[in-house]
Amino acid sequence: MAAFLAELEFALKPIKIGVLGLGTVGSGTVNVLKRNAAEIARRAGREIIITRASAKDLTKQRLCDTQGIVLTTDPLDVINDPEIDIVLELIGGAGVVKDMVLTAIANGKHVVTANKSLIALHGNEIFAKASEKGVIVAFEAAVAGGIPIIKAIREGLSGNQIQWLAGIINGTGNFILTEMRDKGRNFDDVLAEAQALGYAEADPTFDVEGIDAAHKLTILASIAFGIPLQFDKVYTEGITQITRTDVEYAEQLGYRIKHLGIARQTSEGIELRVHPTLIPERRLIANVNGVMNAVLVKGDAVGATLYYGAGAGAEPTASAVVADVIDIVRALTSDPENRVPHLAFQADSLADIPLLSSDRFNTAYYLRLNAEDKPGVLADVTRIMAAHNISIEAIIQKEPSKGETAVPIIMLTQITLEQEMNAAIADIEALQTVTGKINRIRMETLG
């Protein structure tokens, strides 16, 4: 009886949380954990309290109520506190933070992180250490902000063979593209607003050059296909080369340009690519605007499924962080061997499927080129395309702009091998009658 009571008392002991980072996501998380404490305790079966938090500058005004939390500038004060059960890593970056997370694991703490660069670059090592110590590392907030996409793929779709997934997985980039298209605003102004709203990464080139989306795609692909995390294999293009002209031509042809992360299993291996993409405007995902994210996942049993929600911001991201905390609290009573695996598949069953180099990708293309307005030019271009086995879906020759002699030619192709397209583009650019570089954007029907 005494043992039973002691066990009961242990079972009811509050879970203590230490938070590293009190910026956008850290503050949002503190607010959600405090505001919803009663509801969360009912769901988790235990009270959850934040006892310590670290930030770089303690004189800074915080967007959360830190009453009752011991603040420090040294993350080790949190990580080494023997009372703390779960460490929330909400600082960001893949440098010093990696050591913080490994130390927390070595100290037997469970870790929740929103840090996609950390997981994409060092997740294999971190998960191995976590498994050795029998602790959980949870990272729902690392992909698509508040959308529970990791849980959906890892648990909800675990009976499926995932065939492909495609998503708008960077909120800042989608916010910029939407504002530019709908309001004609300029790139730098919208990026500054995304930074002020707390959406952008500490280094915003990660958002606009596609690196952040590539981190997220690395994670999604591992969970979808059961492969180790391999960030260096992702083909990555950002949104900085998208022009107003291409947005308008795409719309005239019935398409929207979105920045997508695409992971697709083919008979040869897996394509992992992040780039601007033309999508038919009738697709739901083509109409996902602002900071919203959406991920389409195609499973062999379920068919296509779509997940939509806020991709960045304080409380949407906190929603995912807190859900991970609750999952850990619930799992604390279960056998460590039987917890949901970090990358969805058992660590010793990850597959060695080749990740394809970009010249092996299969996709359709939008091409825009400038050519002299004289007979035979179009015939030369179509001859080159035919020589590379590329079928043209649509072609438009525009009127030359005032005072210009060159005319824009816009082409949509059918699906072709990227290697053939690269060769065709090189041959067309070499024509005397073609001026400048061809603007190429990949195109997906996502059917």
d(CA 169, CA 207): 10
- Window 196 to 215, contacts with ligand NDP (CB under 6 A): 198-199, 201-202
Stretch that binds ligand HSE, among 26-34, 56-64, 200-208, 347-355 (CB under 6 A): 200-208
Query: What's the alpha-carbon Rg for the chain, to the nearest Å?
Result: 25
**What number of other Cβ atoms are within 10 A of residue 266's Cβ?**
13
Active-site residues: which are they?
Answer: 216
Region of 437 (left: φ > 0; alpha: ψ -120 to 50; beta: rest) is beta
Of 312 and 322, CB closest to ligand NDP: 312
25 touches ligand NDP (CB under 6 A): yes
Look at residue 55 and give the partner it binds from ligand HSE, ligand NDP, none, a contact being a CB closer than 5 to 8 Å depending on partner kind.
ligand NDP
CA terminus-to-terminus distance, the chain: 62
* The only residue of 15, 17, 18, 21 in contact with ligand NDP, by rule CB under 6 A: 21
d(CA 277, CA 116): 23
- Stretch of 43-51, 129-137, 181-189, 198-206 contacting ligand HSE, by CB under 6 A: 198-206
Helix (H) or strand (E) holding 331: helix 314-331
Q: How many CB atoms lie within 10 A of CB 262?
A: 23
Instruction: Centre a 10 Å sphere on the Cβ of residue 333 and count the other Cβ atoms it contains.
Output: 9
Write the interaction track for ligand HSE spanning residues 304-333; mark x where CB under 6 A is met and - where it is not.
-------xx---------------------
Choose, by CB under 6 A, the member of 90, 149, 200, 367 that binds ligand HSE.
Answer: 200
Q: Does 302 bind ligand NDP (CB under 6 A)?
A: no
- What DSSP state is assigned to residue 73? S
CB of 218 to ligand HSE, least distance (A): 13
CA atoms within 13 A on the CB side of 57: 5
The CB-nearest residue to ligand NDP is 23
Identify which of 215, 216, 223, 217 has the alpha carbon closest to the alpha carbon of residue 160. Answer: 223
Instruction: Kindly indicate which of the ranges 272-280, 309-317, 380-388, 395-403 contains the residues binding ligand NDP, using the contact rule CB under 6 A.
Output: 309-317
Under the binding rule (CB under 6 A), the answer on residue 261 touching ligand HSE is no
* Total Cβ atoms within 10 A of residue 379: 9
Q: Which residue's CB is nearer to ligand HSE, number 84 or number 168?
A: 168
Q: Which residue has the tokens 């996942």?
A: 297
| Cβ neighbour number for residue 90 with a 10 Å cutoff | 29
Q: Which stretch binds ligand HSE (CB under 6 A): 96-104, 164-172, 296-304, 359-367?
A: 164-172
Binding site for ligand NDP (CB under 6 A): 21-26, 54-57, 60, 75, 90-92, 96, 114-115, 141, 145, 198-199, 201-202, 312-313, 317
Binding site for ligand HSE (CB under 6 A): 145, 170-172, 199-201, 207, 212, 311-312
